[in-house]
Structure 1
Amino acid sequence: MENTASPVSEAFLNNDEIEWQPLSLTLVEYPKGDLLGKFFAFMSLAPFGIGAGFVTLILFRRDLHTVTFFFGTLVNEVLNIILKHLICEARPLSRGHLYNEYGMPSSHAQFVWFFSIYVLYFFAIRLHHINNNSIISALWRIIIVGSCLILSLIVSIGRVYLHYHTTAQVIVGGIIGVIFATIWFFVVHRILTPLFPQLVTLKLCEMLMIRDTTLIPNVLWFEYTTTRQEARARGRKMAVLKPTQ
């Protein structure tokens, strides 16, 4: 009988011929027993949590500004990959085949600083005119922006502490993230935002239920009050239509 096994199947039968390559996208190593290193390892996963949050917001809110913000993070990552392959600077510590990609600039630092500075601009410029006299609103802004900046510092320090990057690689990554966040916010705020009202009228945007909430001061409060009013109206309507016992 003719052997029809594929080369891949034969390779799996002989494990000595296989070179295993791990998917190290979310794999973070830290010194065993080092609690601070373990903390930094957990915090280094923050970009993946932020990315998951973006996807969730886009699926459930369908807001154009959220889409453009997320698209900016993707462009930022592409820029980081291009710079790494142009500079070709190695990481400070190589662990076999796990982390053989380049380290300059740090992608983690570039990502978190892009995200934090964009959030800072959003609250300082886009929302500067909303509820300025509200102490609670101002406090929430300080907490959100401060948390983002602290997260960026922790992730950046952790990349050096865990020997994934040199200090220079993290600093350069952070600077590039800040610069690109400034550029991208200007593009979104000055160029793309005025086009949002026209974009949401496109057939594709209507099919995907993409919306523009730029002119709504407080989207959460607007959605809350609108939903409550609609629920009350429907409740009164059902009470009227309900047959008397």
Structure 2
Amino acid sequence: MGDVPLASLSLTHVHYNPHDPLSFLSAWLALVPQGLCVAYVTLIWASREAEVILMFAGQMGCEALNFVLKRIIKEERPKQILGKGYGMPSSHAQFMVYLAIYAGLFLVFRHTPVIVRSGAALHFLVRVLLALVLCLGAGAVAGSRIYLNYHTPRQVLAGCGAGAVCAFAWFFVTRLLRVHGWIDWVLDQDIVRWFRVRDLLVSEDLVEAGWQQWEAKRKLSRRGSSDHPSTKSE
């Protein structure tokens, strides 16, 4: 093994200045898209929600577009960095901006839960704040690519633009799929039903709905315990 040249797994290999705390933070921000992909798969497996699947499908389409654009434009990365592949547009920026805008559009315009714990106005405000936090996070990741010299500002701006176009376009497409009943048609297919795919996220706050079910179950359990003969005084 000592004579075999070793290769680096560049998927998580990030160059940064160890003496610069901001460079160190930027290196961690560079890993956010990989972490979000794990979160996507986890959410899909755990919730089986159609909206999460649609969002992830658009995310993968956005990544495919980035792959194609890089090989059409063929613009090199900044000379100061040893990064592999082409740099135009930035895939990190494109990934994060798509996620932030699509999720923000969903939270503000499509997510209308019936069960609202603290009132509709407060719930809507929370959703708007979450959308803003997502945009700030996308900006931080995009900025980190410039700070680490993996991309030029122009490459990052191009990635942001491509991600925004993908997000708005896919949100419009998924709206048409819902309006014309294609989502319901797919959900009625036997193979989809076998995987227990559902479409509750649009009309329900899953945390609140789950909590209400838990509370109802607990009340029944307490009522059953109080009615049990062994708990009554003789």
* Interval of TM-score (by shorter of Structure 1 and Structure 2): 0.7 to 0.9
Which of 14, 21, 28 lines up with 1:35 in the alignment?
A: 21
Unaligned runs of 5+ in 2: none
Partner in structure 2 of residue 161 of structure 1: 147
Using the size of structure 1 for normalisation, the TM-score is: 0.83
Partner in structure 2 of residue 127 of structure 1: 111
Change over 3 Å in CA distance of 1:82–1:192 after alignment to 2: farther
2:137 aligns to what SS in structure 1?
Answer: helix
Indicate whether 1:118 and 2:105 are aligned. no
Which of 193, 217, 220 lines up with 1:230 in the alignment?
A: 217
Q: How far apart, CA to CA, are the structure 1 residues paired with 2:189 and 2:130? A: 34
Question: Where does 1:70-81 land on structure 2 (aligned, <5 Å)?
Answer: 70-81=56-67
Indicate whether 1:170 and 2:156 are aligned. yes
Q: Supply the AA of the counterpart residue of 1:197.
A: D
1:162-190 residue CA offsets vs partner (Å, 9 max, x unmatched): 00001111000100000010111111122
Using the size of structure 2 for normalisation, the TM-score is: 0.86
1:93 aligns to what SS in structure 2?
Answer: coil
Change over 3 Å in CA distance of 1:224–1:239 after alignment to 2: same
Indicate whether 1:102 and 2:83 are aligned. no
Partner in structure 2 of residue 4 of structure 1: none
Deviation at 1:238, TM superposition (A): 6.8
The alignment of Structure 1 onto Structure 2 pairs a total of residues equal to 228
2:36 aligns to what SS in structure 1?
Answer: helix
Deviation at 1:45, TM superposition (A): 1.4
The answer to whether the 8 A contact 1:93-1:164 is kept is no
Change over 3 Å in CA distance of 1:232–1:197 after alignment to 2: farther
Deviation at 1:28, TM superposition (A): 1.4
RMSD: 2.5
Deviation at 1:135, TM superposition (A): 4.2
Deviation at 1:215, TM superposition (A): 5.6
Unaligned runs of 5+ in 1: 1-11
Change over 3 Å in CA distance of 1:214–1:198 after alignment to 2: farther
Indicate whether 1:182 and 2:168 are aligned. yes
Identity %: 28
Q: How far apart, CA to CA, are the structure 1 residues paired with 2:108 and 2:125? A: 13
Q: How far apart, CA to CA, are the structure 2 residues paired with 1:50 and 1:215? A: 21
